Amino acid sequence: MAVSPIGTSPKRREDARFVTGQGLYLDDLRVDGLVHAIVLRSPHAHALIRSIDASAALRMPGVLAVLTAADAAADGLRPLRPYVEANVQTGEPFAFAPQPLLATDKVRHVGEAVALIVAETQSQALDAADLIAVDYAPLPSVTTIEAARTAGAPQLSVEVPGNVCFDWRTGDWAGAEAALRKAAHVVSLALDNHRIAMNPMEPRGCIGRFDPATGRYTLHVSSQNIHNNRNHVARALGVEPDAVRFVAPDVGGGFGAKNFAYVEHALIPWAARRVGRPVKWIASRSEVLLSDHAARDMEAEATLALDASGRFLALKVNGAFDLGAYMAGAGGGVPTFQYLHLQGTVYRIPVIALGIAAVVTNKVPIGVTRGPGFAETVNILERLIDAAATQTGLDRVELRRINMVPPEAMPMTNAFGFAVDSGHFAETLARALDHADAAGFTDRRRDSEARGRLRGLGFAYHIKGTGGPPEENVEVRFEADGSVSLITGTQHIGQGHETTFPQILCTRLGLANELVRLRQGDTDLIASGGGHGSSRATYMGGTALWRASDEIIEKGKALAAEALEAADADIVFVDGRFAVSGTDRTIGLLDVAALGREKGRPLDTYHLWKREQMTFPNGAHVVEVEIDRDTGAAALVRYAAVDDYGVLVNPMIATGQAHGAMAQGAGQALMEHAAYDPKSGQMLAASFMDYALPRADELPSFDLAFNPTRCTTNPLGVKGCGEAGAIAAFPAIANAILDALSSLGVKNFDGPATPARLWQAMEAAR
C-alpha cells in the first residue's frame, strides 16, 4: 500500500470515475415520482407588475402548480437577505432591499423570477409558461454606475435612496493630498473592470423534497457552500436550519457563481411541499447568463504619487461597485473587506486614501469570482505602475522592484493595518521575467513587425488573501473495516480534494492513501462548514485536519502505552506506528484504533478551528500579445508565471488550478463581457452566440514555475492557489496591449480586447 505524502503528485483519484462516466452530478440523480419546474422570468429590466393571470397555464396537461409571490407570502416565505448587511470595518448598515423569492410589485432586472411552474415533465412546464399572462408597466432602467447616481435617475427600491447602498471614505485623505502636492510625478487613470459571467460546465440546479412526517426539507443542489447557503434558505423558508438538509454530489465547477444562496434554492423545496412530489429544476445556459450572480463591474479613478527617484508616496482611489439589482451574497462585504484589505498590494505605499461606493442597477446581482476585491485592487495598481513608467521614463521593472516590500521587512503591515506574513516579491518578479525570456522580447517584437503585427510585453504582480469564512471543522473516523473516513465542511467542486486531503492525513498519520475516504457535501454529515471559496479548503480544512491528527496521536499514545506495557511518556509515533522509545516494540495506528473501539475509547476525532489570519499567495505573470494592425485581432502568444503558494501539497494539482485561473483571467481580458443595452437594460450576451469564452486553441501553453515561501499562519505552510491567474492575467494582458499600441500613442485601454475595440482604439489614435 502506497503512502503519498505532502509534496508528491499522485494522480487525482477522483478522475477515474469522472472519465469513465461514474460521476454523480445533479442531473444524474434518479428520483421516483420526480416532477419538473420552470422559472418564468421577466423580459423587462425594470417594470411594475400590474397582474399575473395563470388560469390558462393551470389548464394545461400535466401542470401541477403555478406559484407566484402571493402564494409565497401566504405560506410565510421571506426574501433573501445579504450575507453581509453592514460595513465590515465600521458597522454602518448598508442600504439594501431584500431580494424577493418571486417578484412582487415590480421586476428589477431581465431574468428576475416572476412565477414558478411545476408539471409532470419539463416540456409541459415550458408550454404552460408561455400561457401565463403578466401585465407589465415598463419603467426606465439604469445599467451603469453613472446613470444610477445621476440626479433624477429611476429608483430601484425605496430602501436604497439614490440607488446608493453606501458611499464611504476611508484612509488618510489629508495625507494623500499633501503627498500629491509635493510629488515629483503624479499619474492618474480611469479604469473599468468590466462585468463578466462565470458559466460553470454544470449549470445551477436543485432537486427538492419535503417529508410531511418530519416537516423536513431536503435539497440536492449544485453548490459550493452548502452549510451557509442552507442557513439562509432556512430563514427564507421560515424554519430552523436543522429543518433543511443540503446535499451536493459532484459539482461541475462554480468559479464563485455557486457560492451563495439563490431564490430557486428556497422555491424548489417549497414547491415540493406544495405539490407533494420531488421537484427538479436545472438552469438553461441562457438562464445561467440571465440569473447567475455576475462578477467584477467596478469603475475607478486612481492616482499615484511618486518622488523624483520613483518611490511611491501615496495612492488615491475613488471607486464604485455596480452590485446589480440586489445586494446579493457578500456584495457589500467585498468592497469593505477584500478590496480594502490589500491596498498597496506588495508595494510600500505609506499613504492611501479610498473612496468606496456601491450602487444598484437593473442588471443581474453581483456575486464573486476568483479574487473578488483583490483582483480589482491589483488591476488598479499594476495599471498605474505601467502608466507611471511611461509618463516618467523610468523602467517599469525597476519601478516595481524599488517599491516592493523586501523579505527582511516581512511580515509587512500595510497602510490599513493588515499584515502579510511571507513572500519574496522582487525575487519572484525577477525569476518570472527570466522564465519568460523577457530579454529576448525585442527580437520577437521585430519578428512580429515583419509580419505586420504589433507585439507587446506585459506583466503584473498579484497577491490575495485566502481563507473565506473563518471557521472550519473536520471529523476523522476509524471504521471497523480498517478504512478511515475523513469528513470535512469544505467542499470539492473539481479542485482535487479527494486526492490532496488524504495526502495531508496520510503524511501526519502514516496511512496508505487508499485507506482514506473523503466524505463531504452533506449538511447532515458534519455540524458546519465554510464550503469552498477564497481558495480556503487546503488552508482551512487542512489546518483543522492537522490539529485533529495531533489529538489522534495523543489519544493513541495512551492506548499504545497500555498495549505495549510502557509509560505514556516513553511512547513515540513515527510513520504510522507507536513504539516504545529505544526498543523494537511497536504497534500500528490501525491496531490501536481497533483496540480503542474495543475499550470504548475510539480514536475518532472532531476538530473545529477558527483562523486569526489568512494566507497570501502571490506571484508575477508575464505575457506577450500580438495585434493585427488591419483588423485589431489580438492573440495571446506567450504566458509565463512564477507563483508563491507556500508548501505545495500536490504540485500537479496546484499547477492545474493555476492554469484554469489563467484561462479565466485571459478570457476576461480578451473576450468576455456581460454587456447590457444602456437604454433597454436587455442583456446583449445571453447565450454563447454573444458571450465568448476562451477555447484551448486561443490560449498558449502556460509555463508556470514556483518560488515558494512557507506560510507562517498555518502548520502546513500552505497558501491558496486557485485564484492567482484570474487576478494577474487581466492587468498583465492589458499592460501588454498598451505596450503593443504604445507606438500609436494609445495611453489607456479597458477590456475586453475584442478586435472591434482594439481597431477603434487604433483608429482614434491615428
215: cell is 416537516
**Looking at residue 718, what DSSP letter applies?**
B
- The least confident of 78-87, 265-274, 487-496 is 487-496
Residue 250 is assigned to a structural domain of this protein: yes
Same domain, 504 and 603: yes
Q: How confident is the model at residue 495 (pLDDT cuts 50, 70, 90)?
A: confident
Listed in sequence order, the residues at least 6 apart from 12 whose beta carbon sits closer than 8 Å to its beta carbon are 496, 498, 499, 653
494: cell is 473539481
- By residue count, the chain amounts to 766
State how beta strands 279-282 and 605-610 pair: unpaired
Listed in sequence order, the residues at least 6 apart from 340 whose beta carbon sits closer than 8 Å to its beta carbon are 89, 170, 354, 356, 373, 416
pLDDT at 2: 67
For the residues of 149-217, what is the DSSP string, one character each?
A: HSTTPPPS-TTSGGGEEEEEEEE-HHHHHHHHHH-SEEEEEEEEE--B----SSPPEEEEEEETTTTEE
CATH number at residue 121: 3.90.1170.50
Domain boundary among the residues 549, 581, 610 is at: 610
pTM: 0.96
Residue 323 is assigned to a structural domain of this protein: no
C-alpha dihedral sign at 96, 97, 100, 103: negative
Same domain, 533 and 648: no
Same domain, 727 and 745: yes
Alpha-carbon torsion, ordered 353, 359, 363, 364, to 10 deg:
70
- Checking if the pLDDT of 295 tops 60, the result is yes
- At 580, give phi and psi (nearest 5°): -80, 120
State how beta strands 279-282 and 471-478 pair: unpaired
Angular region, 150: left φ>0, alpha ψ -120 to 50, beta rest = beta
Q: Is 22 exposed, middle or buried (0-12, 13-18, 19+ CB in 10 A)?
A: exposed
| pLDDT tens digits along 10-31 | 999 999 999 999 999 999 999 9
- DSSP E strand stretches across 98-155: 106-107, 113-119, 133-138
Residue 199 is assigned to a structural domain of this protein: no
Residue 337 is assigned to a structural domain of this protein: no
Same domain, 131 and 244: yes
| pLDDT tens digits along 147-173 | 999 999 999 999 999 999 999 999 999
Q: What is the mean pLDDT of residues 700-722?
A: 96
Same domain, 661 and 722: yes
Strands in 516-519's sheet, in edge-to-edge order, are 516-519, 484-488, 471-478, 605-610
> Mean of the per-residue pLDDT values for the chain?
96
**Looking at residue 569, what DSSP letter applies?**
G
Number of folded domains that form the chain:
3
- Checking if the pLDDT of 432 tops 80, the result is yes
CATH number at residue 631: 3.30.365.10
Same domain, 725 and 751: yes
297: cell is 463591474
Exposure pattern of 464-499 as b/e (b: 16+ CB <10 Å)? Answer: bbbbbbeebbbbbbbeeeeebebbbbbbbbbbbbbb
Residue 699 CA to residue 663 CA, distance in Å, equals 7
Domain that holds residue 758: 421-466+614-766
Q: Is 291 exposed, middle or buried (0-12, 13-18, 19+ CB in 10 A)?
A: buried
| pLDDT tens digits along 666-692 | 999 999 999 999 999 999 999 999 999
418: cell is 493588515
Residue 447 CA to residue 430 CA, distance in Å, equals 25
Domain boundary among the residues 610, 633, 657 is at: 610
Q: How confident is the model at residue 733 (pLDDT cuts 50, 70, 90)?
A: very high
CB neighbours (10 Å) of residue 633? 16
Q: What is the mean pLDDT of residues 308-318?
A: 98
Same domain, 627 and 656: yes
CB neighbours (10 Å) of residue 21? 7
Alpha-carbon torsion, ordered 645, 646, 647, 653, to 10 deg:
0
CB 169 within 8 Å of CB 351: no
Residue 366 is assigned to a structural domain of this protein: no
Same domain, 627 and 584: no
Q: How confident is the model at residue 534 (pLDDT cuts 50, 70, 90)?
A: confident
Strands in 106-107's sheet, in edge-to-edge order, are 106-107, 47-53, 133-138
Calculate what percentage of the chain has a pLDDT beyond 90. 94
Residue 183 is assigned to a structural domain of this protein: no
pLDDT at 63: 98
- At 407, give phi and psi (nearest 5°): -60, -35
CB 400 within 8 Å of CB 347: yes
Same domain, 443 and 570: no
CB 306 within 8 Å of CB 393: no
Domain boundary among the residues 610, 640, 660 is at: 610
Q: What is the mean pLDDT of residues 348-352?
A: 98
Residue 569 CA to residue 166 CA, distance in Å, equals 59
Same domain, 569 and 715: no
- Checking if the pLDDT of 1 tops 60, the result is no
Residue 115 CA to residue 138 CA, distance in Å, equals 18
Q: How confident is the model at residue 468 (pLDDT cuts 50, 70, 90)?
A: confident
For the residues of 368-384, what is the DSSP string, one character each?
A: --SSTTHHHHHHHHHHH
CB 455 within 8 Å of CB 465: no
Same domain, 701 and 560: no
Same domain, 684 and 764: yes
Q: How confident is the model at residue 753 (pLDDT cuts 50, 70, 90)?
A: very high
pLDDT at 639: 98
pLDDT at 287: 97
Residue 559 is assigned to a structural domain of this protein: yes
- Checking if the pLDDT of 765 tops 90, the result is no
Residue 452 is assigned to a structural domain of this protein: yes
- At 439, give phi and psi (nearest 5°): -65, -25
